[in-house]
C-alpha cells in the first residue's frame, strides 16, 4: 500500500503540529502543514498531496479564493479538499462555505486524536488497511 500524502492548512501552528503528529504517528501518513492558503497552494503545486484538509476559520473569502485557484490549475484541480472546523454546528457553514464550494464533507471538532485518521480516511473514501 502506498503511503498517503496529506496537506493540512491550519493557521494555528500548535494545532497543526498536533494534527500532523496524530496522522503521522498513528496512521503513518506523510503530512505537510501550511499556515496560510498562499503557502498551502505553493505546497499543493509542488508536492501534489493526495488530499488537503483546510481549516474553515482561515476565512471564507480566503478559503474560497484558495479553492478557485486550486481548481484552476491542471496540476492541482484533482486534489480533494475537506474542511476542518472548530465550530460545533453546521449552521454557519451551510449557507456560505459549504454550498459555494460544493465540498462533500467536513471534520468537526471536538477531535479525538486516536480517531482523527479514521475520520479523515472516512470522508476521503480511503481504506486504512
pLDDT tens digits in sequence order for the chain, 129 residues long = 689 999 999 988 898 999 999 999 999 999 999 999 999 999 999 999 999 998 876 555 677 788 889 989 999 999 999 888 765 554 455 555 555 555 656 676 677 788 889 888 988 889 886
**pLDDT given for residue 115 in this prediction:** 86
**pLDDT given for residue 105 in this prediction:** 63
CB atoms within 10 A of CB 25: 11
Give 79's strand partners.
none
Return d(Cα 26, Cα 58) in angstroms, integer.
26
Ordered by where they begin, the domains of the chain are: 5-124 (3.40.50.2300)
Cell numbers given for 105:
464533507
SS3 of residue 102 by DSSP: coil
Return d(Cα 37, Cα 61) in angstroms, integer.
11
| Beta strands across the sheet bearing 81-85 | 30-34, 5-9, 51-55, 81-85, 106-108
**pLDDT given for residue 30 in this prediction:** 97
Helical spans, DSSP H, in the chain: 13-22, 37-47, 60-72, 91-94, 97-101, 116-124
**pLDDT given for residue 91 in this prediction:** 45
Amino acid at each position: 500500500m502506498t503511503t498517503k500524502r496529506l496537506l493540512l492548512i491550519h493557521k494555528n501552528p500548535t494545532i497543526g503540529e498536533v494534527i500532523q503528529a496524530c496522522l503521522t504517528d498513528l496512521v503513518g501518513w506523510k503530512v505537510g502543514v501550511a499556515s496560510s492558503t498562499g503557502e498551502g497552494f505553493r505546497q499543493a503545486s509542488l508536492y501534489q498531496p493526495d488530499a488537503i484538509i483546510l481549516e474553515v476559520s482561515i476565512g471564507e473569502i480566503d478559503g474560497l479564493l484558495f479553492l478557485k485557484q486550486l481548481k484552476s490549475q491542471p496540476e492541482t484541480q484533482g486534489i480533494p479538499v475537506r474542511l476542518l472546523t472548530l465550530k460545533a454546528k453546521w449552521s454557519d457553514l451551510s449557507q456560505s462555505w459549504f454550498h459555494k464550494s460544493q465540498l462533500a464533507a467536513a471534520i468537526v471538532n471536538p477531535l479525538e486524536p486516536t480517531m482523527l485518521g479514521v475520520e479523515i480516511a472516512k470522508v476521503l473514501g480511503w481504506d486504512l488497511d
